[in-house]
Amino acid sequence: MHPVLFHFYALTIYTYGFFVALAVLIAYFLAHLRARATDLDPSIAADFVFVLFVSGVIGARCFYVFQHLEDYQGQLLKIFSIPEGGLVWYGGFLMAALTGLVIALWKRWPFLRLCDLLAPIIPLAHAIGRFGCFFNGCCFGRPTHSRVGVVFEYGDVPRLPTQLFEAAGLLVLSLGLFYFSRKKRLAGESFILYLAGYGVFRFFIEFLRGDQKGYYFLTVPQWTSVLLFFGALFLFVMIQKNQRRKQS
C-alpha cells in the first residue's frame, strides 16, 4: 500500500488526504455545474457543499476517535492528524445532514432540493474517498485465499479489498442517480433513492469487512444502514402525503 503519496522537503502528502481533497473539489465543481443547469443559485449550492464538508469531516473524525479512544490516550494531538486517515463515513454523514438542515432552515435555503442536487455527487465523492482508504490500508475486508486478495501494510494475510468493492458500487449508484435525476422529480426523491440505495448496499458489503466489531449480530454501520433505509422510507411517505395534500 502507499499511505504516503510523496514528500516535498518537510511536507508530507498523504494519499488518503489527497483523495479526500480530490473528492471535495470534484463535488464542489459538479454542484456548481448542476446548480447552473437548474434554477438553484450556484453560490448557495457552493456554500452548502462547504458547510457539509466541514461538518462532515468533524463528525467523521469524532466518530472514529470515539471508536478508538485507546489509540489516543496520551497523544491528543493525533486526533487532528486527519490526512493520515481515520474518518467514519456514517459519522460524517449524520453530522453533515444535521448541520445542513439547521443552516438551511436558518438561511431559508431549499434543503430537499439541495439534497437532490447532491444526491448523485455524494456517492461519486465517496467512491473517490474509498480509493484513499485502499491505498491507506484501512477499511479492509476479511482474510481470503482468492485471487482478489490484497496484503495491506502492517498485515500478513491477503484480505478482500472491500474498499474497491464499495467504490465500484458507489460509482454504479452515482451513475444511476445522475440518470434518475434527469427528469423532474418531487423535491427529495433523488436523495431518498440515494439513502435507500446506499443503506442496502452498505448493509451487505459489511459482511465482507474484517475491521468491524459486531453488536447484537450486526456491526455499527449495519445498524446505521437499517436506520438509514427506514428513514428513507419515512421521508418518502411524508413527501407523498405532502404532494397529495397539495393536489387536494
pLDDT tens column, 97-115:
999 999 999 999 999 999 9
Residue 167 in this model has a pLDDT that exceeds 70: yes
Distances (CA, A) of 236 to 50, 112, 177, 233: 27, 12, 16, 5
One-letter amino acid for residue 43 of the chain: S
Q: What pLDDT is attached to residue 137?
A: 84
- Per-residue cell: 18: 489527497
Whole-number Å distance between alpha carbons of 211 and 86: 13
What pLDDT does residue 245 have? 83
Q: Is the pLDDT higher at 123 or at 185?
A: 123
pLDDT of residue 228: 94
Would the pLDDT of 30 be above 90?
A: yes
Q: pLDDT by residue (tens digit) across 225-246?
A: 999 999 999 999 999 888 888 7
Q: How far apart are CA 248 and CA 242, in angstroms?
A: 10
Average pLDDT in the chain: 87
